[in-house]
Chain A
Amino acid sequence: MAVEKQELEKVVIKFAGDSGDGMQLTGMQFTGTSALLGNDLATFPDYPAEIRAPQGTVAGVSGFQVHIGKSNIYTPGDHADVLVAMNAAALKANLDFVVKGKTIIVDIDNMTRRDWEKAGFEKDPLNDGTLDSYNVVEAPITSLTKTALKDLGLDNKTVVRSKNMFALGMVYWMFSRPLDHTEKFLNTKFASKPILAEGNILALRAGYNYAETIEALTSAYTVLPADLAPGTYKNVMGNQATAWGFLAAASKAGLELFLGSYPITPASEILHELARYKHFGAKAFQAEDEIAGVVSAIGASFAGDLAVTTTSGPGLALKGEAIGLAIITELPLVIVNVQRGGPSTGLPTKTEQSDLSQALYGRNGASPAIVIAASTPANCFDYAFMAAKLALEHMTPVILLTDGYLGNGSQPWKIKTMKDLPDIKPNFVPKDKRENWMPYERDPKTKARYWAIPGDEGMEHRVGGLEKDELTGNVSYDPINHEKMVKVREEKVTLVANYIPDLEVDGSQKGDLLIVGWGGTYGSLYSAIKQLNVIGIEIGLAQFNYINPLPKNTEKVFKQFKNILVCELNDGQFLKHLRGLLPQFKYDAYNKVQGLPFTVAELTQLFTKKLGEIKK
């Protein structure tokens, strides 16, 4: 197996189970493999006082904690980012040690009522909300190990002992570790009993493959080091915040919410979340495929709902034709793309920003869409809300880009309630325009056509995917009309610039170097420029949330700097967009396409070097 280069910032992993579960060995193996990959690390074995305390009790829990990172690891870590809990007692003993929003892998085979009572839980922690703030991976580790080893003819006890290797396999997959170090170790350790080596290796590989199959994800988002403003906070995950943003927007707009969606990693949590709130008028419709997801949303939009579809890159490709339908019928629609590595199935669990061009251009004909991007797990709420507001007020599809790290990452969120949010005024036909209304009459300021929905007497009309007459909306093959319609659909999107906030610059407001980013790279770019600002280096950051159209002051901001460096987790898609719209500036680019986020260390080094070159 090829050794993948790892660029983890810093991660603390804790393996915990019964003393007999082999947690020390498991932790040591993970440590050894990581050390071979060149990670800096610190470990902390956490044995119970007794070698074999009563099974299944908190006293009997054995743990091994490892803190790994690129460099500068000085402690085993104050809190865990990943907890592997082999039973209820291990969960109980270590729950407070896990950072909110981070990952807990739990062997659900050891979570029966008897197990959790013995561990001292009063209720089933998997179902009473105890784990709500965590990314929980519920895995039947023991039973899957048994199944994997069933043909070896080993006794049950020996088989069950191999479950630690199954768990280790899962964690290896999550952190892209190779298996060969541990396989070699097992072959040596069981040199005299090759059947045991075979069993343990089978379990290891089964766990690795299982994690890949279920696409077990870590929450690898780097939390911003910024000082938090006063207020009430809670931890939110990006996908959850996205779902809530839509609930809030529907409520503000006085509409019901319709989500048409097909499960896809890493976007499915939005569907799961919205499926819980039917009583808020939220209809989460799990369609038969991606196309039906978006088309059902368009049907719901026609009938007057706030319509949303959620997906990831491959799904956006499938939805392309339908998004064109929403563009020509000029109906409000929000499309969320929780981006992952591509092309094709690509890297479903890795992060990337390579769907920007697809969002901007990936449809037949001239089919402009509003494109916006969230930049932190918490502000997924704000941009979901804003995507809905723009769609409803401007009567056109809005594509909201987040990514796997935002969607599965978590962050403290300064809670917003309904009163903190702006109004949303869907572009319904105004009272004074109802008489002799034509389906493609427009608001003169926004160029948005007015919305009339079934059930509204006297407003019966037909829309469809054939070109529309500019006023009546009847089918029109007239050449001049077509050109007018292409232009007005474009103009409508361009005019959105009048309704979005200005671009803001973090750090230095002018000077030699402006870093330009967009979307989910904000955490690492911000941390990097702040680190440099603190030691007196002048550098600014313009992180874009509004991509099409761009904020109106973009040119003004760029003029304040002598050099612009565009940093993206793709091959330069935003760069091309900027070059097309603002060709008067010279842009440098830094691109990373490894399915990994930027690390702060690589960025500070890069920016320092860049500034050095400028000064020369």
Chain B
Amino acid sequence: MTEVKTAELTAKDFSSDQEVKWCPGCGDYSVLKAVQKAMPLVGQERKDVVFVSGIGCSSRFPYYMNTFGFHGIHGRAPALASGVKLANPKLSVWQITGDGDALAIGGNHFIHAIRRNMGLNILLFNNRIYGLTKGQFSPTTDLGHKTKSSPQGVIDNPFHPGELVLGAQASFFARVVDINPNHMTDIMVAAEMHEGTSVVEILQNCVIFNDKVFSKYTAKENKDDALLYLEHGKPMIFGAERNIGLKVNGFELEVVTIGENGITEKDILVHDALLVNPTLHFMLVRLEYPMVLGVIRSIETEAYESKLSKQVLEVEKKSPFKSIDDLLLSGETWEIV
């Protein structure tokens, strides 16, 4: 995907005739809306868009998109998406997955898809719980959290999805939150524009089994002071008064207040999503306060399918076989009369 076309379609055109069946109040509704709104902006026709998914609440997503869609099996959506993309690299391929689907049963496929860097957009719905199986802990559930399968509290260390994604050599990683649909839409467009695999982690509230898990960031009274919206080339400033920022201190990021202890805006770190060395991006995804949102990493790379098409041309030039018949008739042959 390289150029944005002016599309005549609207978000409504991307909405299917199927009744949406998530629980009332589920964070998935706003994600669906944001994605439908992003579709006309990326300029893809409906016929060229494919949504694939695994298993879980969020994985019902493809049924609600009026595009091509494939609801797969648990954890395997990255492989499904890879097959679709390789069969037809012109398609815009979106993979919908959750924290269980991507990081537990499908962990292997997830990291390998990222490493290969095909032109896929992976939307990781992280609600830090298993919803469809009714409330067991997931690979991202906080330590100590009591769930049906951890009545005394979780003792498994949770994954930071961002670390896993960066560790798998991601060329694009962004984070959004379900309470800010406009920001989500912007980031979806950025994800589609990126060459290679884009992973967008969506902090999403499960109203039934893990309600308010992100409220320390997302509640009205907290969101201005706890969420940092990154923009490439801009200083990392947040807070209701826009006077709090991040500063490098040794191997850590330090939260500082502008105007205190001699700190001026010049001391605040400027975001660079293009850094090939992911050290800064690792520091950002690990932060618990503030919660960093936006495009954390977006480096220029060549997508898998582009490298593949080069190899095709190379083989075409070098292979002695110009047709299947050439191949079948090749080598030592003999006649029996």
Contacts and interface: CB of A to CB of B under 8 A. Distances in A.
Contacts of A304: 87-88
B328 to A, nearest CB: 6
Contacts of A232: 329, 333-335
Given A232-B333, A247-B327, A455-B48, A462 B68 contact: yes
B114 to A, nearest CB: 11
Interface residues of B, number: 58
B16 interface: yes
A299 interface: yes
B334 A234 contact: yes
A300 B90 contact: no
Contacts of A303: 50, 83-84, 87-88, 91
A292 B111 CA distance: 12
Interface string B213-234: 0000000000000000000000
A142 B273 CA distance: 51
B87 A305 contact: yes
B328 A415 contact: yes
**Majority DSSP secondary structure for residues of A touching B:** mixed
Contacts of B86: 258, 283, 285, 296, 300
Nearest to A258: B87
Contacts of A260: 79, 83
A262 to B, nearest CB: 11
Contacts of A230: 335-337
Given A278-B311, A295-B83, A303-B83, A248 B70 contact: no
Interface stretch (B29-37, B258-266, B313-321): B313-321
Residue from A277, A285, A303 whose CB has the most chain B CB atoms within 10 Å? A303
A299 B80 contact: yes
Contact of A454 (B50, B108, B324, B329): B50
B277 to A, nearest CB: 26
Given A260-B79, A277-B319, A292-B76, A457 B88 contact: no
Contacts of B69: 461-464
Contacts of B323: 418
Contacts, number: 201
A485 interface: no
A289 B311 CA distance: 23
Contact of B68 (A133, A278, A305, A460): A460
Contact of A234 (B312, B319, B333): B333
Contacts of B308: 278, 283
Nearest to B65: A462
B325 interface: yes
A23 B258 CA distance: 83
B79 A287 contact: yes
Interface in A418-470: 418, 453-466
A325 interface: yes
A302 B336 contact: no
A13 B187 CA distance: 66
A322 B76 contact: yes
B67 interface: yes
B315 A299 contact: no
Nearest to A129: B331
Contacts of B78: 292
A454 B328 contact: no
Interface residues of A, number: 67
Interface string B185-206: 0000000000000000000000
Given A296-B80, A455-B90, A462-B70, A133 B331 contact: yes
Contacts of B171: none
A15 B41 CA distance: 70
Given A229-B336, A460-B67, A461-B68, A298 B80 contact: yes
A483 B49 CA distance: 33
A475 B83 contact: no
Contacts of A464: 62-63, 69-72
B72 A233 contact: no
B240 interface: no
A279 interface: yes
A104 to B, nearest CB: 16
B73 A280 contact: no
Interface in B86-109: 86-88, 90-91, 108-109
A162 B153 CA distance: 61
A307 B335 CA distance: 35
Nearest to B320: A129
B52 interface: yes
A291 interface: yes
B84 A235 contact: no
A546 interface: no
Contact of B79 (A235, A278, A283, A291): A291
Contacts of B49: 454
A295 B79 CA distance: 6
Interface string A307-332: 10000000000000110010001000
Given A288-B109, A460-B66, A279 B80 contact: no
B324 A248 contact: yes
B92 to A, nearest CB: 10
B62 A292 contact: no
A602 interface: no
Contacts of A288: 108-109, 112
Contacts of B16: 462
Contacts of A244: 324, 327-328
B177 interface: no
Given A303-B91, A417-B329, A418-B325, A292 B71 contact: no
B89 to A, nearest CB: 10
Contact of B328 (A231, A302, A416): A416
A594 interface: no
Nearest to B112: A288
A465 B50 contact: no
Residue from A228, A234, A297 whose CB has the most chain B CB atoms within 10 Å? A234
Contact of A296 (B48, B66, B82): B82
A297 B83 contact: yes
A453 B315 CA distance: 28
Interface string B26-66: 00000000000000000001111110100100000011011
Contacts of A247: 324, 327
A11 to B, nearest CB: 23
Contacts of A307: 83, 87
B32 to A, nearest CB: 14
A474 interface: yes
Contact of A295 (B80, B112, B333, B337): B80
B72 A295 contact: yes
B312 A459 contact: no
23 contacts: A133-B332, A258-B86, A278-B308, A279-B312, A279-B319, A283-B86, A283-B87, A287-B79, A289-B109, A291-B109, A292-B82, A295-B80, A296-B86, A303-B88, A305-B87, A321-B73, A454-B48, A454-B49, A455-B90, A462-B69, A462-B71, A465-B55, A475-B18
Interface of B: 16, 18, 45-50, 52, 55, 62-63, 65-73, 76, 78-88, 90-91, 108-109, 112, 308, 311-312, 315-316, 319, 321, 323-325, 327-329, 331-337
Nearest 4 pairs between A and B by C-beta?
A299-B83, A464-B71, A303-B87, A462-B69
Given A100-B332, A462-B63, A462-B70, 20 more contacts: A231-B335, A232-B334, A232-B335, A233-B333, A244-B328, A247-B324, A291-B79, A292-B79, A295-B83, A295-B109, A299-B52, A299-B79, A299-B83, A299-B84, A415-B328, A418-B325, A454-B49, A460-B68, A464-B69, A465-B55
